Structure 1
Amino acid sequence: MSDIEIAHLETFGAAPVFVFCDHASNAMPASLNCLGLPEDILKTHIAYDIGAGAVAHGVAQRLEGTLFRCGFSRLVIDPNRALTTPDLIPAASDQIPIPGNQMLSEADRQARIDEFHIPYHDLLDQALDDMTASNGAPLVVSIHSFTNRLMGAKEDRPWSVGLLWREDEPSARGMINHLERETDWRIGDNEPYDARIFNYSIDRHVGPRSLSHLTIEVRQDLISDNDGVAQLADVLAAGVRKVAL
């Protein structure tokens, strides 16, 4: 059994809003010995979405909804990847080698799936089922963050916030319009990632349930401290109220 929490569930009220964060934590079980990485690397964007868990908490709290956060680092195994994807257990991330993920045996790979990926998605399924049973169909908000500059890039990414969408374009358009009205930020439309290509957790749990949803990406330099987190949580919660509730 792992010595870290697979997922954390917290309820702030009865509002039909379910906020989740796949990459909230950089925690690893002691048995993995930090995957051979120095501790300072585990504090960077390759191990988790910096600030995303705190923003997700703030949005759920402000909307009096439910929060679901992953408890382990995506370097252990990425919960937002299908089991067939090459970067499910990344051998390198943003050009940084991950020693403990290289030359894994099939048994070691399957152990990671069995111990982390499968139970995480079972818990996410159960949480959504429970909320639907008690509150009706919730609005689902998925929160991620992205590094302002990838290794080797010549300049920063220009977007402050991005909305990723495939099935629920109206909710995404509404939030994009809200952010463009209320801020001077550049807002990404399926940038810096494109949900029409992949958005595994949403595609697995939310699309099949036909739930309204938003996938929000926030640039990490905007949420690197408590003031930034509070500002983003305020702006995003206000947007959710206007466009989707």
Structure 2
Amino acid sequence: MSGLLSARDGAPVAIERAEAKSDIVLICEHASRRVPESLGDMGLSEDLRKSHIAWDPGALAVSMLLSEALDATLVHQRFSRLAYDCNRPPEASDAIPEISEVFEIPGNRGLGPVERAARAEALYLPFHQAIDDLLVARQDAGRSPVIVTIHSFTPVYKGVVRDVEIGILHDSDSRLADCMLARASDGYDVRRNQPYAPVDGVTHTLRRHALTRKLANVMIEIRNDLIADAIGQAAAAGYIAGLLGECLEGEAL
């Protein structure tokens, strides 16, 4: 294990359904709120370590349902974005945030280059190497992977109420997003590049793995009050699976 992670912590990345038949590769960068043992409580209360600043509540549950429904491989991070946000490159200041939303993160305050590099080496690099290895193997086998990242967001952010329920986000390649938005039916308030957009730095995983390989891709954001329980998670997963299925069959793209 790395200096940051102990044997009890285990691996920084998990892969579900590695041999799945679908070309879809699901990625959940903010799946866990666990903090490596070596970082303690990071100076935060238990409530904050359970809150959205630490992870995307409901995102992993929806990802697991999608993985099952679509027979798709899922890659997910096993540690909190408070330790390292795997949807940010090492040079990004918010890869290891000193402030998240309005909350200071004492465990991240004043880290030097060596400490930041150690976090990236332990958490970011293995996560993205696992994705790279998976995509290379798929392409070497003549397959055309489709990257779908799954996130959740808060109903209220810094006092502003968010009406959008599902965001379909994209960077410069909007093929899959365009198709999903065109087919989005009643049931959810679905919007393009909301509540975040590429200018917010949220498309790093898409840029690193999909745009460089010219692979179809999309980032999906779900309002977390809608996926707070099993019923909501199943409904959202069913809806998203339907959109992906319609867009990826035949010549939809």
Could you say what secondary structure the match of 2:42 adopts?
helix
TM-score by length of 1: 0.93
Question: C-alpha displacement at 1:84, in angstroms?
Answer: 1.6
Please name the residue that 2:57 is paired with: 50
Q: In 2, are the aligned partners of 1:79 and 1:117 still within 8 Å (CA)?
A: yes
Q: Equivalents in 2 of 1:133, 1:218: separation in Å?
A: 33
Q: Equivalents in 1 of 2:171, 2:99: separation in Å?
A: 28
Please name the residue that 2:242 is paired with: 238
- Percent identity of paired positions between Structure 1 and Structure 2: 33
Aligned counterparts, 1:20-169, within 5 A: 20-134=27-141, 136-151=143-158, 153=159, 155-169=160-174
Instruction: Read off the aligned partner of 1:203 and give its amino acid letter.
Output: R
Question: C-alpha displacement at 1:189, in angstroms?
Answer: 0.8
Aligned length: 241
Q: In 2, are the aligned partners of 1:4 and 1:27 still within 8 Å (CA)?
A: no
Q: Equivalents in 1 of 2:10, 2:181: separation in Å?
A: 36
Matching residue within 26, 42, 54 for 1:19? 26
Could you say what secondary structure the match of 2:40 adopts?
helix
Answer yes or no: is 1:6 the counterpart of 2:6: no
Question: C-alpha displacement at 1:65, in angstroms?
Answer: 1.3
Once superposed, what is the RMSD of the aligned Cα atoms? 1.5
Please name the residue that 1:185 is paired with: 188
TM-score by length of 2: 0.90
Instruction: Read off the aligned partner of 2:13 and give its amino acid letter.
Output: A
Q: Equivalents in 2 of 1:90, 1:241: separation in Å?
A: 36
Question: C-alpha displacement at 1:196, in angstroms?
Answer: 5.5
Q: Equivalents in 2 of 1:39, 1:158: separation in Å?
A: 28
Answer yes or no: is 1:172 the counterpart of 2:181: no
Alpha carbons of structure 1 residues 135 and 22: separation in structure 2 relative to 1, 3 Å: farther
**Which is further off, 124-133 or 13-22?**
124-133
- For each residue in 1:23-65, what CA deviation from the matched residue of structure 2 results, as whole angstroms up to 9, or x when unmatched? 1111111110021112221111000011111111111210111
Q: Equivalents in 1 of 2:208, 2:217: separation in Å?
A: 13
Greater RCO structure (CA 8 Å; 6+ sep): 1
Q: In 1, are the aligned partners of 2:206 and 2:218 still within 8 Å (CA)?
A: no
- For each residue in 1:196-225, what CA deviation from the matched residue of structure 2 results, as whole angstroms up to 9, or x when unmatched? 553101101111111111111100000011
Q: In 2, are the aligned partners of 1:46 and 1:75 still within 8 Å (CA)?
A: yes
Instruction: Read off the aligned partner of 1:241 and give its amino acid letter.
Output: G
Q: In 2, are the aligned partners of 1:46 and 1:94 still within 8 Å (CA)?
A: yes
- For each residue in 1:66-115, what CA deviation from the matched residue of structure 2 results, as whole angstroms up to 9, or x when unmatched? 11111111100111112221111000101111110001132221211111
- For each residue in 1:97-145, what CA deviation from the matched residue of structure 2 results, as whole angstroms up to 9, or x when unmatched? 1110001132221211111111211111112222333460122111111
Q: In 1, are the aligned partners of 2:167 and 2:194 still within 8 Å (CA)?
A: yes
- For each residue in 1:181-208, what CA deviation from the matched residue of structure 2 results, as whole angstroms up to 9, or x when unmatched? 2x23221211111125531011011111
Question: Runs ≥4 in structure 1, deviation > 4 angstroms?
Answer: none
Instruction: Read off the aligned partner of 1:61 and give its amino acid letter.
Output: E
